[in-house]
Structure 1
Amino acid sequence: MSETFRPARPDEIDDVARLEAHSFPAPDRGHEWWEDFLLNGPHGGIEALWAAEERGRLVGACQLLWMRQWIGGVAMPVMGLGSVAIAPTHRKRGLATRLLIAGFEHARERGDVGSVLYPFRASFYEGLGYGLAGEAHQYQVPPSLLPDDKQERMRVRMVDGEDDEAAMRAIYREAAQRLQTGQLDRTERNWRQSWKRDDLAAVLYWGESGEAEGYAIVRYRADLPIDRRFIELEERVWLSLPAQRGIYAWLSSLGDQWREVVYRAHPEEGFGDRLSEPRLPLLSAPSWGLWFPSATLLRGPMFRVLDVPGALALRQLAVNCDMTLVLEVDDEQIPENRGPWRVHLDGRRMEVEPYTGGHIDATMRLPVDTLSRIFIGAIAPWQAVAGGLATIDRPAVIQRLDQALAVPKPWMFDRF
């Protein structure tokens, strides 16, 4: 089989766009749309395109986007995998798997320690070492059910002009670095192209000090029939509790115009506790006896460690720790990740080297998709062991390991 995997050339944009249009057919996404997206998309252009060639013909392509993702307070270099397209005549041949494994090596060579994506099918990417790494609780409620606070609501105003946009960016960056895990380190290109659309609007909350402390971006779903229209929250970020109350209160004031708000909450936000009635609309989901449905669980992003020692060396610890582990990783696609590794947790950092003997506190064995989920905070080590996803020969160290690796549940607004 004469396959070649390589960066795409500028003169191949036409061919790649044709592949993408075949793989993701949609009325509003024809050939010209794909050409523009591949060249000028919010997260990358021609420099991110990766191609599969067979006998001189382009038969597959994807985006290996250059990104940085905030994990535990560190912006780590990661490859964002997007737009995986295989020619209709080459499906079910394992081409996508081979294309991506070659892409992993390319990303490792350029310095990426991890990879993030949104899956078309989670099981396919789990087979390539990715683990689910993001949840949201989706509520669909009348605005009047959100808590109102007139004083805080008066501090919310529409985003208008460059100074307001700069305030949004500063809020996002501080929250991504200090309060959250999983958000992308957005570039000027990301900001410029990600939210400035006619169906989107943004508001800022201004604190008593005169500084902006939170923002929200909403989407007007006026494209639907009038009896089904709603407003949906695309993203919200706050640095203070008053900002959180102000944004809730602003949303609660929109009932005269919008019948429903679709709100996607972080799992640790406790949004349902803020609602005066947390039930889903009648008959929208089955109940269980006297239990009632409240929110829909959404799952989306997946994460993969591409470079085990490189990623662990960048990962900050939540608490000071002094422990030495041997880590054995099952990674079918990247043999260099398997180890065994000597991982010394020292203070707030990890030192990683091949294990050649000596004192250790425990040995942990796990597949790379489980390691990836632990790394980004989607699950804790004890959950992996309790669920049979990992083994450790000395369970007594699990509690300390949980404390050291603790971060907020991963959360990402950007889609690609």
Structure 2
Amino acid sequence: MTTTPADIDVRRITDAELPAWMRAAKTGFLRTPTVTEADVAARRTAHVGSRTYGAFDAGTCVATFRSFPQELTAVGGTAVPADAISNVAVLPTHRRRGILTRLMTEDLTAAKDRGDVVATLIAAEYRIYGRYGFGPATSAAEWTIDVPRTGLDPHWPGPGDGGRIDLVDPEEVRKIGPELHERLRRGRPGAVSRTDVWWDSDTGVLRVFGEWSEPFYAAYRSADGEVQGLVSYKADDHWGDAKQPLNTATVDWLIATTPAAERALWRYLCSIDWVVRVKSGPRAPDDLLPHLLPDPRAASITTQADWLWVRILDVVRALEARTYGGSGSLVLEVTDRSGFTGGRFLLEAGPDGASCTPTGRGADLTLDVAVLASLWLGDETAPRLAALGRLGEERAGAALEADALLRTPGRPWCPDMF
């Protein structure tokens, strides 16, 4: 007999239930469901500080959900507390029974009570999370570089700016990576914090995902010795006829705090012997990469899609946390069917900061909280959303005024998957 929603027990899991939770998560993501003792031990360490939920049908774990503390950089550099959501899976035998809604509601309620300003996630499927108030807030693009077409000198001797590139080992990455990333995220809207667990997982100390294959790491140091860039990459072993190398270098991640470091690291990747193709991994959609090449057409976009999704839990704190491109005021009517936030707000912004207060004045713009999330980091524009019918312009010209206020010099970017 099929169980009813009332028969499903949704709650935080116990430590003893972690192996069953992991098996359900792997099954939901179509991965081999085998769970070893080493897998459990690694997950147990990785989940310290997390909120790990499960849904149980007669004692069997049929859905998984996890959240953990995070910081998200708003426009202008302020970091706001975020509820990062991951490992969301419902088994195919138990879909369409409201299980995800119950899990999401419990977690977001707790996040709101804690005082988190937003919740974040990377959406595997586009159509799931809008109904919970999430909106796509950053985008990502991935390029494939045809190295012989770039016009770059194949005999590149290294950076010509006094800096240098060194191959480094995982231990060195754990020493220099966290501080470099902190400098990056403080100046990059959309960037999120990385924990020690993140660095331990990436460098093989913690095998959260089972077998780990050590990548290559290269660091760029400026002329004065400061680490300004770091890249993790792998390479395949592919040879064509007549012993011609046809290898591809695939970037896991590349972070840089200066254009010089970014230029040098991409130049380095395109100079590696035997490599004829470089895959960039997810980058900002307005990344410098193509135009760092003599022939930008040598870098073709192979993926362009939404990336970080944001759910605003506190409209006032979210809008007051960011900076604005000009001065002005707007009245926003924000709807939130879940009731976590929303209402009518007067936003008054200028070079010295912004205030956002409840108001009884007539609305200039009406929008759902998910649409506000797409505007908040500057990846969307109010006129575009109005043209799509996702934003109501109640006063003529208000969308253009909102665009002038919310516009950012560059598009936001989240370098991380979580």
TM-score bin, normalised by smaller chain: 0.7 to 0.9
Q: What SS is found at the alignment partner of 2:31?
A: coil
CA contact (8 A) 2:216 2:234 kept: yes
1:89 maps to 2:106: no
Hey, what's the Cα distance between the residues in 2 that align with 1:386 and 1:192?
A: 45
Distance 1:110 1:7, change over 3 A: farther
Of 54, 63, 73, the residue aligned with 1:60 is 63
Counterpart of 1:247 in structure 2 is 265
Q: What SS is found at the alignment partner of 1:127?
A: helix
CA contact (8 A) 1:322 1:347 kept: no
Hey, what's the Cα distance between the residues in 1 that align with 2:246 and 2:98?
A: 42
Of 254, 266, 270, the residue aligned with 1:236 is 254
Counterpart of 2:157 in structure 1 is 150
Q: What SS is found at the alignment partner of 1:259?
A: strand
1:39 maps to 2:47: no
Counterpart of 2:376 in structure 1 is 375
Shift of 1:17: 2.0
Counterpart of 2:232 in structure 1 is 217
1:174 maps to 2:178: no
Matched to 2:321, the amino acid is R
Shift of 1:152: 0.9
CA contact (8 A) 1:146 1:274 kept: no
Among the aligned pairs, what percent are the same residue? 20
Hey, what's the Cα distance between the residues in 2 that align with 1:45 and 1:165?
A: 19
RMSD value, Cα: 3.0
CA contact (8 A) 1:146 1:251 kept: no
Hey, what's the Cα distance between the residues in 2 that align with 1:2 and 1:314?
A: 43
Distance 1:58 1:388, change over 3 A: same
Shift of 1:278: 4.6
Hey, what's the Cα distance between the residues in 2 that align with 1:22 and 1:163?
A: 35
Hey, what's the Cα distance between the residues in 2 that align with 1:270 and 1:67?
A: 27
CA contact (8 A) 2:138 2:377 kept: no
Counterpart of 1:201 in structure 2 is 216
Of 6, 24, 29, the residue aligned with 1:24 is 29
Distance 1:404 1:414, change over 3 A: same
CA contact (8 A) 1:79 1:114 kept: yes
Hey, what's the Cα distance between the residues in 2 that align with 1:340 and 1:183?
A: 29
Distance 1:385 1:99, change over 3 A: same
Matched to 1:366, the amino acid is L
CA contact (8 A) 1:230 1:258 kept: yes
CA contact (8 A) 2:28 2:91 kept: yes
> What stretches of structure 2 of length at least 5 have no aligned partner?
1-5, 205-211
- Number of equivalences: 393
Counterpart of 2:333 in structure 1 is 328
Hey, what's the Cα distance between the residues in 2 that align with 1:138 and 1:276?
A: 19
Counterpart of 1:287 in structure 2 is none
CA contact (8 A) 2:174 2:199 kept: no
Q: Structure 1 runs of 4+ off > 6 angstroms?
A: 224-228
1:107 maps to 2:114: no
Distance 1:336 1:7, change over 3 A: same
Q: What SS is found at the alignment partner of 2:380?
A: coil
Counterpart of 2:275 in structure 1 is 258
Q: Which moved more, 1:105-114 or 1:305-314?
A: 305-314
CA contact (8 A) 2:20 2:61 kept: yes
Distance 1:161 1:106, change over 3 A: closer
CA contact (8 A) 2:365 2:398 kept: no
Hey, what's the Cα distance between the residues in 2 that align with 1:131 and 1:36?
A: 34
Counterpart of 1:294 in structure 2 is 300
Shift of 1:191: 1.7
Hey, what's the Cα distance between the residues in 2 that align with 1:195 and 1:181?
A: 26
Of 42, 51, 55, the residue aligned with 1:48 is 51
CA contact (8 A) 2:25 2:89 kept: yes
Distance 1:213 1:46, change over 3 A: closer
- 1:109-154 per-residue CA deviation (whole Å, 9 max, x = no partner) reads 2222222222231111223222223333322233342745635167
CA contact (8 A) 1:64 1:107 kept: no
Q: Which moved more, 1:189-198 or 1:53-62?
A: 53-62
- 1:342-365 per-residue CA deviation (whole Å, 9 max, x = no partner) reads 33335443333332x35x7x5211
Hey, what's the Cα distance between the residues in 1 that align with 2:142 and 2:176?
A: 27
Hey, what's the Cα distance between the residues in 2 that align with 1:210 and 1:371?
A: 42
1:316 maps to 2:328: no
Hey, what's the Cα distance between the residues in 1 that align with 2:236 and 2:394?
A: 53
Shift of 1:250: 0.8
Distance 1:55 1:352, change over 3 A: farther
- 1:178-237 per-residue CA deviation (whole Å, 9 max, x = no partner) reads 1x2222111222222224453312211111222222222212345x79887421112222
Distance 1:335 1:228, change over 3 A: farther
Counterpart of 1:390 in structure 2 is 391
Counterpart of 2:311 in structure 1 is 305
Q: What SS is found at the alignment partner of 1:122?
A: coil
CA contact (8 A) 2:120 2:311 kept: no
